[in-house]
Every structure is written in structure tokens, then in C-alpha cells.
Structure 1
Amino acid sequence: MPTRDDMVLVASYNAAMNGRLYAAAASLPNDVLLADRGAFFGSIMGTLNHIVAGDTIWLRRFMVHPSAFTSLQAMADIPAPTGLAYRYSDDLPVLLQHRVRLDAIVTAFAAKVSDRDLAQPLSYRNARGDNRKHFGSLLLHFFNHQTHHRGQASTLLSQSGVDIGVTDLLEWLPDQH
């Protein structure tokens, strides 16, 4: 099962990769970012908005964890999206502000999670009903979801002539001596 150190590592990795993704997207004109590319969420902006929506949904769910993480209190001020294709903004700088805010919350949250917290179950509700799952596994899903859709956005950027470079988590893993 994941440890607190794993969560800190992937939170840092995700924030950095999100920064690289948005910097790459900023090199393209808005009409290219909004063009429907046939991806699951249509466009580059559609995909970026989906990642923000998914993160917002999960972070709001994590607020009910029995440890009541104070680092997640800021999520109370962020409205829940009405669906997975919710559009926070089609203006990249506006969406980037939201992304940076979420990444700061995630980074602060990961630093406060304990191994004991990770071992607990979390009860939450989704469109299919009530669920109760291992919290550490839910956090793995949360980070994997970002990585999955960043990969889609990276492909869309590549098709538009923009390379975001190496995105492998392996590059972030510390060497063992």
C-alpha cells in the first residue's frame, strides 16, 4: 500500500507536470486549444478542464475523511462541478490559476496525510451510489487519473507540434544507495 512519502512524491510530481503541461499549452493559440481533436473530452482545453473537474470532485470527497484535514478546508470555497465535462474556463490563464490553486491544496494535503490515515476506509457518494474504499487506494486513483488525462493532453499537444518533454515518474524517484 502507498505511504505518506509516496503521496508527497506524487503530489510534487503532479504539480510539476501540470506546470509543464500548461506552459506547453500556452505556446498555442486559443483556437488550437479549443479545436475538437476527437479526444474523449474533445479538445486540449476540454481535457484540461476535465482534470480540474475530476480533482475538484475527489478533493471535496476527501474532505469527509475522519482526520478532517485542515489543508482541504479551502475546497469548501471551490464549487463542485456539475459533471466530468464541466468547463471552469476556456481561457487558459484563468484555468491555470485554478490549477495552481488545486495543486497547492494537493501538495499541502499530501504533506499532512499519515500512514495511519492512508490505511483507513473512506465513505463517499458518486453517481452510482454509496461507496466505501481504502483511502490510500483512492489517493492512488486520484493521482493516476491526473496522469492518465495528462497523457491524453500531451498527445493532443504533440499532434499540435508541442512536446512537453519527459514525463516519467521514474525521473522523480530518488536513487537508492
Structure 2
Amino acid sequence: MATGLVSHFVAMAGNNAWSNHRLLTACKELTPAEFAERRTGFFPSLRATLNHILWVDIYYIDALHRDPTVLKRYDDPPPDFPDAHQLYDAQRKSDRRLIDFCERQTDATLAEGLVRPRPNRTPPPSSIASILEHLFQHQIHHRGQAHAMLSSTSVKPPQLDEFFLAGEEDLRRDEQRLLGLPQR
């Protein structure tokens, strides 16, 4: 049985998958040109922002799996997906990997140290839990920017904060089933 901390990370990974699903489903309504159109944000477009989220997810998940080739890929990001339809499938696969990783954790593995490979420097080890916390914060940070960018289009930005609370189950139930997530 999962402890509170493990359950929390599994829930955060589920929320991540659900939020990505909602945001990218909305972005599928955009043409590739609208998806790539210059907008105000840390990255210059929805395309660049959402592709960045995927690249960082893949990098961190590979590092969490202790993949010895992760550093070689640091400067070789995955393909830049030109539209939300193609990006959706790749992000969904990445989200599933993160959920699966979190489901396999224990208190002991979450406390283990891991050095996140970086070019030209060796940072001190961080715990698996700290790396997961950082990854979730990174995703939330950039999804918020993408959400704001989407508001400057003709597509209504989706609600991204209905995942955890009781009384809002009907607002997420169908999508949780579609994504194979447990009902919360």
C-alpha cells in the first residue's frame, strides 16, 4: 500500500496527465500557424512552450530512470511537434511513464539521492522526491503560461484546477477514464 508521500506523487502525476490532456485538447482546435504564432510568454509561442514541457519531462523522467545516455541527449531534444495533435500523443506517452514511475516508488526510493546530469557541471545529488517536486512545479509553471497564451486565441482555455477536490468528480470523471487514471 502506498504511503501518503507516494500517494501524493501518484496523484500529482495523474493531475499532470489530466492537465496536459485538457490543455492540449484545447490547442488541437488551433491551426498549426495559430499554434506557432508569436505570443507573450517565457517561450514565444504555444508550440515552443508545450514542446519545452515535453522535452523537460522526457529528460527528467529518463534521469529518474537513471538512463546512462540522458546527458548525451541534453542538446538533442525530441522532435519539435508542429501541431497539438502530434504533440498530444507524445505528451500522453511521457505522462504515462511518469505515472508508472511514481507508482513504483516507496518512501525509501523517494529518499534516494540522484545526480541530475548537466553539461559542464556536476550538481550535488537531490532526492528523488525533490526532483519530482521540481518537475511538477516546472510543468505547472509553463502550463500556466500556455494557458494564458491560449486566452489570446479564439479557443477558450480549459479549467485546470478541478482535479483534487471532492464535489468536482463529475467535472473530470470522463477524462480520467479516457486517460486510465483512478477516480479521485
**RMSD, aligned α-carbons:** 2.6
Please give the alpha-carbon distance, in whole angstroms, between the structure 2 residues aligned to 1:174 and 1:118: 27
Structure 1 residue 168 corresponds to structure 2 residue 161:
yes
Q: Which letter does structure 1 place at the counterpart of 2:101?
A: F
Q: Which letter does structure 2 place at the counterpart of 1:116?
A: A
When residues 81 and 92 of structure 1 are mapped into structure 2, their CA distance, relative to the original with a 3 A threshold, is farther
| Counterpart in the other structure of 2:151 | 158
Identity of matched residues, %: 28
Structure 1 residue 57 corresponds to structure 2 residue 49:
no
* 1:6-155 → structure 2 map (5 Å cutoff): 6-64=8-66, 80=73, 82=75, 87-127=79-119, 129-131=121-123, 132-155=125-148
Please say if residues 17 and 95 of structure 2, whose CA atoms lie closer than 8 Å, have aligned partners that are also in contact.
Answer: yes
Report how far residue 63 of structure 1 moved.
1.4
Please give the alpha-carbon distance, in whole angstroms, between the structure 1 residues aligned to 2:118 and 2:128: 15
Q: SS in structure 2 opposite 1:172?
A: coil
| Counterpart in the other structure of 2:175 | none
Gaps of 5+ in 2: 168-184
| Counterpart in the other structure of 2:170 | none
Q: Which letter does structure 2 place at the counterpart of 1:139?
A: L
Q: Which letter does structure 1 place at the counterpart of 2:82?
A: D
What is the TM-score of this pair, normalised by structure 2? 0.78
When residues 143 and 150 of structure 1 are mapped into structure 2, their CA distance, relative to the original with a 3 A threshold, is same
When residues 33 and 41 of structure 1 are mapped into structure 2, their CA distance, relative to the original with a 3 A threshold, is same
Partner deviation per Cα, 1:46-71 (whole Å, 9 max, x = no partner): 1010000111111111112xxxxxxx
Aligned length: 162
